[in-house]
Amino acid sequence: MKNYKLFIVSLFLTSIFSFGQNGPLREHFKQKKEKIKALKVAFITTELDLTSDEAAKFWPIYNAFEDKQLEIKKQKFKAYLERTDANLIDKLSEKDAASLLTQMESNEDDLFQLKKKFISSLKGVLPSNKILKLKKAEEKFSKKLLQQYRDKKNNR
């Protein structure tokens, strides 16, 4: 689980830094991101055994959820980086540290509320057992992606 979180953070950081780059590097990361997204769509569709009708209703909801979730995580991470640049945590005043914690809690609450709304939206589109399978499929996909990353890294 720790490696999974580390992978997600590193993927997120890579994404953020690549958006600031121009030229081939940015295009390379954009292509990689699109490839991963396409693999994820195929994987989840297969794992959930979505019908064409279910898929047509599911993917717009899922994509909107993913976009909003990414937006909230970017805000959370940006605020954290701005406040803790160059390991300044020890230098934060109690007031600033408390403010940062409040902001982090607010972002976590926003993510929680978003997930609740997402699940509620899915209930009108998918049977409950497929909604449960979705969480498992996302975890399996992340593990598979992480394993491929490790394999690629070890083969260098």
C-alpha to C-alpha distances, 113 to 18, 22, 62, 65, 116, nearest whole angstrom: 29, 35, 15, 11, 5
Contacts of 49 by beta carbon, 8 Å cutoff, 6+ apart: 130
- Which whole number is the average pLDDT over 93-114? 88
Tell me the two tokens of residue 35.
Answer: 């490839």
Q: Which of 15, 2, 3 is nearest to 147 (CA)?
A: 3
pLDDT (tens digit per residue) in 136-148? 999 999 999 999 8
What pTM value is reported for the model? 0.71
pLDDT computed for residue 9 by the predictor = 45
| Separation between Cα atoms, residue 156 and residue 150, nearest integer Å | 10
Q: Is the pLDDT of residue 119 over 80?
A: yes
C-alpha to C-alpha distances, 96 to 15, 29, 74, nearest whole angstrom: 28, 35, 20
Q: Band the pLDDT of 122: cuts 50, 70, 90.
A: very high
pLDDT computed for residue 141 by the predictor = 94
| Separation between Cα atoms, residue 96 and residue 99, nearest integer Å | 5
82 vs 95, higher pLDDT = 95
Question: How does the average pLDDT of the chain come out, rounded?
Answer: 82
- Which whole number is the average pLDDT over 122-144? 95
pLDDT (tens digit per residue) in 14-63? 555 544 545 677 888 888 889 999 999 999 999 999 999 999 999 999 99
Q: Which of 49, 30, 41 is nearest to 66 (CA)?
A: 41
Q: Are 112 and 73 spatial neighbours (Cβ–Cβ below 8 Å)?
A: no
- Which whole number is the average pLDDT over 81-100? 75
Q: Band the pLDDT of 6: cuts 50, 70, 90.
A: very low
Q: Which range, 12-21, 75-84, 87-96, 136-145, has the best average confidence (pLDDT)? A: 136-145
